[in-house]
Structure 1
Amino acid sequence: MGDRFAFSRVATPQQLNWFLTWNQMGGNPSFLRFLFQTGSHMRNSFLPLSLAACLMGGSLLPAQSRNVTLLSHVNKHGRYNDCWGYVAPNGTEYALLGTTTGLSILNLKNPSKPVEVGFFRGATSTWRDIKTYKNYVYVVTEARGVGMRIFDMSKPDSPRLVNSGWGRSIYRNCHDIYIDTKEGVAYLCGTNVGMVVADVRANPVNPKYLMTWRGNYIHDLHVQDGYAHVAEIYVNRYHILDVRGVRNTPPVIKSLGSVRAPGSRYCHNAWATKDNNYAMSTNEAAGGPVGIYDIRNKLAPKLIATFRGNPKGAPSAIPHNVYSRDRVGHMSHYTEGYRTFDISTPSKPVEVGYYDTWSGSSRGYNGDWGCFPFFPSGIVILSDIQSGLYVVRPKSIATKYGKGTAGTGGRTPTMNAFGAAYLGNPSFALHVANAKPNSGGVLVVGGKAGNLNISGLTINVELFNPSPILIAAGTNSQGIAHLNAPIPSSSSLNNVVLYSQFLVLDPGGSFGMSGTRGLKLTLFAK
């Protein structure tokens, strides 16, 4: 704990009052109430980030990357395909790496030295796709007649195969899988019979078959909050399905809106932003773009922008899979490697970093097949077809640390970055949710992490050396505070690291407040 936090001790309520009054009112807590009561005009504003800066030195990156640092590289199994990630209950992260001959599982406790804890040989196939649900890993393949394999990760350093071929009597081959972990429903797409839907919640080892959707061939999909965002590759369309009825009797899937994807052909994968307002798709063709859609009207999605990785240097390069985390796109782009781009303004995507795993020519199906950008630690894993696993750390991901403090009803507020913190980003913001509605609050921004306990309230930003910046704000009727934080273009802020936390007046919380975990972000030049 001492290595992780710069400051760790228990403070008295008097010390907290001294901090919250910014040492201006002699420790009088009424000043904090004054901030909450009069700060409504600041709810959608942010003091210049330069006021909170703690400048740190940087180093030049290799020519094959920008704003992405390579941590490790592992190549043990010949040729590879997709990858995914698993996080154990104790927080240890694992890479799930598909190969043409099986599944490799690697412990990433030290991301600079991954350790393979299991390799499970399977039917030989160019295609293998992987997803997780609770402590289980699900693997599908285009190899005929082998079904879906299921692995138990309850003891993650000793994984076990617990089902060697679910669904063999239902379908012959399967291209891809997505699991709605909130609802416990698996969607197996690209099969010879359509999209197979199964319930994994009741019995993860032996899922219950629910239905088969027999519309246009679905190559890949993302399911979130009752909507499936599907890529219909052969008709080149992005399509939204209502899947809230898959457990009905009989099960029901409803077609909503669709739109032609940009590019000439092959809408390959699709992914929605967390707020369900926007989505992205890739076109797996030479020079194919990423399409960005406004989907606030699910019956009429609209294409509003396109994005290409390295369009001048590699106009014929092929994109593969794209994902969204905190309004930042993460894409595996075959010969152009891993690309990350800001979508805080979805109609104006901006590339902010890359790591190229392929040194050959910029065309064809070589290089980075997959990426997984969802680890809590902020690392990203890449799967290169020829050279295996890469573990990288992009500057475009903000990471959480420390503990949150629950308030009324056991609700612990959350805070996420909204976009990439690149210099000159006019749309960057911090987004608070799950807080007490219609309540005053304060954003704390400083130059060091902290771990200060005040009567059960955890403060995750160093309060005394250096002193942080306080910004009064408040939550709306849904318990949300969206704090706009446009980042100055000043080069003096490059590689500045900031630590932040949002505290909410909440009588149900410790010391009369609730609080988010800490959020660490790096300001950087794109």
Structure 2
Amino acid sequence: MKKILLLFILFTPILLISQTPCASNVAGGFPCSDYDLMDHFDKATLSSRNGSDIWGWTDPLDNKEYALTTFEDKTCFLDVTDPVNPIYLGFLNTNAGSNYWRDVKVYQNHAFIVADIVGAHGMQVFDLTRLRSVASPPENFTADAVLTTGFGGSTIGSCHNIVINESKAIAYLVGCRSANGGGPIMIDISNPTSPVAVGQYTADGYTHDAQVVTYDGPDTDYTGKEIFIGSNESKVVVVDVTNPAAPTKISEVTYSNTAYTHQGWFNKNKSYFLVGDEEDEQNFGNNSRTIIFDFTDLDNLSYHSEFLSTSPAIDHNLYVKDDLVFQANYRAGLRVLNIADINNIVEVGYFDTYPANDSPSFNGAWSIYPYFASGNIIISDIDRGFFVVRKSGTLSVSDQVFDESGITIYPNPAINELKIASNKNNIEHLMLYSLLGQKIIDKKHSPINELVLDVSNLSEGFYFVKINNSYTQKIFVKK
């Protein structure tokens, strides 16, 4: 039998796509639940340094999806439109030194990048439309602009983070060490390659991270206002920044067992604000903790509750999409919470990018970006590079790019049926093999462009589908 398998592998042209289904709570060696691995770029492929932040861009011209993933020394750009075959297009090197923190956000088809404890870095600006035509990837890009002058002529060097509400042409630099004491510096980016500092806020000291929204929540006193919610190390601060030249504090709130108020995000109707404390796991011995504040009245914020994970890992960045919270929890990887009922939060899935253990240490998943319309989710990992994952069973032909064969096979994993589609109307012969090379199905047809194969009677496991004696794909049948 081993000989049959060897001959099958040697003499059959196999296209092994990168997608690996989450089966028995494992995908490609990574623990998982209800989230499949689409692809993984090892850190060494992208950088010799540690990974940090990540964000995404969807090209309005053709809806292609791009990942912007950062490392200590650079920002890398990948086309993830076909999630099982991402393309590494190029990178933008640091504007100064290399260090642990680099952050990126997007506005009007431009990426805005800052870095911390690297000297005179400033804010890099990169025109993302340059990714539409890359002749010889990976290309070594240069920035289209660099901002080094802050409000009132001060110098912008190293900043910890950048925040952008994409409905407004203002970027907020926070945690800057060379200007302003670390409070937000407001940058007009209406002309992305000619950014100008137009304000700052200094009353509450250092801001580590923030969310800024055009407010449409339950407190009608602030409807339409630009509201800044800062995670300021020991508290959460709410500031009206509608006029960036004259920001006004609204309120603040804190909580018990405060170690380091790191980052937070509104739920979908802005009644609640969810916050992660980055050091409470080490300082107080609790599991990953998400603190929930009642934000129904912005003038009178209050503690509502907290959710404790089953994992002792340190929580880092979290983002909310509809009723789901996507958390990067360092050594526990991506954790997905359902917050439809804020009083009954439930973990509904995970993808652990750090399989070794969940101990409270600073390794593993740094951040995630869950906002692509396709459902693709991208993860940056300090130690293991770049991941594309997706909720199990949601990959379809519309999410994949036909290669030169003109054939694609989906869904993968398959549960009851498997579809084979062609854009060349050339499906004539289908064969299905077991992983050991045993032929299970052999069907011939007149040329068609789609075929549905019943796999409900097959045992769970990997199989090979061979089309027209030339195109072969590995698939997984899931029970």
TM-score (norm 2): 0.66
Q: Larger deviation: 89-98 or 270-279?
A: 270-279
Q: Give the deviation of 1:165 after TM superposition.
A: 4.3
Residue range with higher mean Cα deviation, 332-341 or 149-158: 149-158
Shift of 1:291: 0.9
Q: Which amino acid aligns with 2:165?
A: D
Aligned length: 334
Name the residue aligned to 1:151: 126
1:156 alignment partner, SS class: helix
Alpha-carbon contact 2:148-2:156 (below 8 Å) kept: no
Q: In the TM superposition, what are the counterparts of 1:91-240 in structure 2 within 5 Å?
A: 91-122=63-94, 123-142=97-116, 143-157=118-132, 158=134, 161-167=143-149, 169-192=154-177, 193=180, 194-201=183-190, 203-214=191-202, 215-225=204-214, 226-233=226-233, 236-240=234-238
- Per-residue CA deviations over 1:201-238 (Å, capped at 9, x if unaligned) read 1x1111121112112211000001111111011xx212
Give TM-score, length-normalised by structure 1: 0.60
Deviations 1:281-318 (A, max 9, x none): 1100124511112201001122212123334xx3xx21
Separation in 2, partners of 1:308, 1:390:
26
Separation (CA, whole Å) in 2 of partners of 1:91 and 1:348 = 36
Q: CA RMSD in A?
A: 2.4
C-alpha contact 1:88 1:156 (8 A) present in aligned 2:
no
1:262, distance to aligned residue in structure 2 (A): 4.8
For the Cα contact (< 8 Å) 2:200–2:247, is it kept in 1?
Answer: no
Aligned to 2:417: none
Q: Report the counterpart of residue 255 of structure 1 in structure 2.
A: 249
Match of 1:512 in 2: none
**SS of structure 2 residue aligned to 1:299:** coil
Q: Distance in 1 between matches of 2:270 and 2:355?
A: 37
What's the offset of the Cα at 1:273? 2.4
Unaligned runs of 5+ in 1: 1-56, 403-526
Structure 1 stretch displaced more, 183-192 or 255-264: 255-264
Instruction: Give secondary structure in 2 for the equivalent of 1:252.
Output: coil
SS of residue matched to 2:131? coil
Residues in 2 aligned to 1:111 and 1:227: alpha-carbon distance in whole angstroms: 35
* Correspondence 1:344 to 2:340: yes
Distance 1:230 1:210, change over 3 A: same
* 1:98 match: secondary structure: strand
CA 115–230 in structure 1, closer or farther in 2 if over 3 Å, else same: same
Unaligned runs of 5+ in 2: 1-20, 135-140, 215-225, 400-479
Equivalent-residue separation in structure 1 for 2:337 and 2:200 (angstroms): 35
Q: Tell me how far apart the structure 1 counterparts of residues 156 and 229 of structure 2 sit (CA, whole Å).
A: 22
Shift of 1:58: 9.6
Residue matched to 1:270: 264
- 1:86-141 CA deviation, whole Å, 9 max, x = no partner? 11111111110101110100011211121111112213111000000011000000
Give the Cα–Cα distance (whole angstroms) in 1 for the partners of residues 392 and 305 of structure 2.
24
Q: Aligned letter for 2:274?
A: M
- Once the two structures are superposed, residues 375-409 of structure 1 have per-residue CA deviations (whole angstroms, 9 ceiling, x without a partner) of 1111111111011001001369999x99xxxxxxx
2:84 counterpart SS class: coil
Deviations, residues 15-61 of structure 1 (Å, cap 9, x unaligned): xxxxxxxxxxxxxxxxxxxxxxxxxxxxxxxxxxxxxxxxxx99544
Percent identity over the alignment is 27
Shift, 1:331, TM fit: 0.5
* Aligned with 1:73 (options 33, 40, 62): 40
Is this contact kept in 1: 2:147–2:195, CA < 8 A? no
Amino acid at match of 1:68: Y
Q: Which has the higher contact order (CA 8 A, sep 6+)?
A: 1
Q: Give the distance between the partners of 2:394 and 2:383, measured in 1 at CA.
A: 27
Distance 1:180 1:210 in 2: 16
Assess, with a 3 A threshold, how the Cα gap between structure 1 residues 72 and 58 changes in structure 2: closer, same or farther.
closer
Which amino acid in 2 is paired with 1:128? R
Residue aligning to 1:467: none
Quickly say closer, same or farther: Cα 1:109–1:187, change in 2 above 3 A.
Answer: same
Contact 2:335 2:351 in 1 (8 A): yes
8 Å CA contact 2:92–2:142 kept in 1: the answer is: no
Counterpart residue identity of residue 269, structure 2: D
Deviation at 1:195, TM superposition (A): 1.6
One-letter amino acid matched to 1:337: G
* Aligned counterparts of 2:193 and 2:321: Cα–Cα separation in 1: 29
TM superposition shift of 1:348 = 2.1
Is contact 1:175–1:191 with CA below 8 Å preserved after alignment? Answer: yes
The 8 Å contact of residues 238 and 261 in structure 1, kept in 2 or not, is answered as: no
Structure 2 matches for 1:331-410, cutoff 5 A?
331-361=327-357, 362-394=359-391
CA distance in 1, matches of 2:195, 2:227: 21
Moved more, 59-68 or 211-220: 59-68
In the alignment, which residue of structure 2 is the partner of 1:490? none
Rate the CA distance shift 1:397–1:365 in 2: closer, same or farther, 3 A. farther
- Worse-matched range after superposition: 129-138 or 157-166: 157-166
> Alpha carbons of 1:276 and 1:397: their partners in 2 closer, same or farther (altered >3 Å)?
farther
- Aligned pair in 2 of structure 1 residues 165, 357: CA closer, same or farther (>3 Å)? same
Letter paired with 2:247? I
